[in-house]
Structures are given as structure tokens and as C-alpha cells.
Amino acid sequence: MKILVTGGAGFIGSHVVRAFLTLGHEVVVIDDLSSGKRANLPPEARLEVMDICSPQAAELVRKERFEVIDHHAAQISVPFSVQNPLADAATNVLGLINLVEAGRHSGLRRVVFISSGGAIYGEVPRVAATEDTPTKPLSPYAVSKITGEKYLAYYSLAHGIEVVALRYGNVYGPRQIPHGEAGVVAIFMDQILANKKASIFRYDDTPGGMIRDYVYAGDCAAANALALDGKPGAYNIATGRPTDTLSLWQAVAKAADSDPGHEFGPARPGDLRRSLLDCSKAERGLSWRPEHDLASGIHKTWQWRVGEGYRP
């Protein structure tokens, strides 16, 4: 099938592009290269450098008549969304509508929408969040992801477009950069290579730091591949396994066979104490389950980091 992957030159999107190509699909990528890189893409993927909010992007969708849009492009910085909610909404809400509105006039069958299980549920103490857990957005970024899901629900009801929303946990893996809004795994690897101590932020009741659900990028790509024909709906994509920041640092240090040490600091404003996702629905509806535990995923990521690695 013919698939548009937005944000496909980025960290996660580039894994998804490769998964689709492996299955024999025709893949076109829209990316403005604000954080993505041409080098992330294999030559079989056609790259169109443009903004998802632009008339050019809408015209591309109308002209190419994609069967599926896999929508990874987004403004991903939570702090930026707090400081600039209008800019956040312009990309994350209006950019989505720009593409889907064009698609509904040109044969679009399905949208695979990348949401955020790590943000939309807010604090969920003691239990893993299911897809039925009430959403409690604590940032404009989280609001924009919920809003995207709601708009797509409208397009499904009004225009028959099938929707799969993948609510990612904390994603890590090869091609994640250690700068800007990078995930903590990339930051920790950068610190080890620089022989610097890790900073671990914590509350009084989280002595090992914040608890998160870390999922390997390759497993996310597999979920996207299954979402092309899987049952429509919203799915948590993570592992269901809690990992505090200290344990994560220790896993990275073990993979690197180097530990420069760590220091603790107070939690930052807006830091969630705990984010953990129940992924049993994805196993039922998409036949998906994560293949990598933390140790194997961190090992593969470290091997990439010291091999091909990040290039500015």
C-alpha cells in the first residue's frame, strides 16, 4: 500500500519507515528536518521537505492519494508547549487537520496517530494506566495529543476513516539524539561518553527517581506495522514494567561497562512521579507485544551509539 509517514526522518519515524519498506509498502515521508535528518532515511523512501501545516503538504496528500497516513510529526517539547501553547496547537492540532482534511477528499482509508501514553494520563499512582483510564493532561502538549485523538474520532464517524492511536510510553533506541528534548537514555549515554555524573531527579517519596515505562523504538515500529491492518482503536505501546531513573542509569552503565557516578537533585516542576502503561489491549487488538526488555534494548542502543552513533 501507499503510505505517508509524517516526521519520518526523525528518531522514531525512521524506524517506522524501515519497517514499512521491509513489508514492501511504498513510503513517502514529510519532514521539515527541524529535528529529523536525511541520513536517517534509506534511499527507498522518498522525502518531501515541508511543514505539515502548509498548503503544499495538503496538496501532496490530495495528489498522491495515500491509503494510510502514519502521523509522527509533532511538536514534542512539554516545556515549549507550556511557554508557547499557540505554537504547540498550531503544529499538533492544525497540522493534523490539514493533512486529514486533504486525505478525506483523496481516498484516505486509515490514520495511524502517534499519541502519548506518557503524558495524557497524568499521575496514575499504584496501577498501570489502561486505555480506559481517565486522561488528566498536565501540559498543552498532552492536551494537543488528546485533541488529535478526538478530531480523528470525528473523522471516523463522519467520513469513515479508520483510526489507530498508538499511545507510546518513553521511547528509546538508535538514532535518538542526546540534545534538546532527548529522552533520558540518550542523555545518559552522552554523559557516560563524556565521563560525567548523571543527575537523577526525585521526590521524597521516589528515592530512585521518577518511575517510567521504557519501550524500544524497534518495538514501536513493529506496532505501527501491525496497526496498518489491525483493529481500530487506541492502544498503549510500552512494556508494563516500571523502571526508576536510578535503575535506568545502572542499566546504561552496565551496557557501557562504565559508571562515572550519579548525583541526586530535587524534582523539577511538572515531573510526574510515576507513569506506567498496561499494554494488554495491544496484544488483543494488534497481536503486539514488546520483544525487547530493558537490558537488551539498552545494549542495542549503546552498540549503535558507539558505532554509527549520533552525528551533529
Residues annotated catalytic, as ranges: 141
Dist. CA 10–CA 15, nearest whole Å: 9
**φ, ψ (nearest 5 deg) of residue 66:** -70, 145
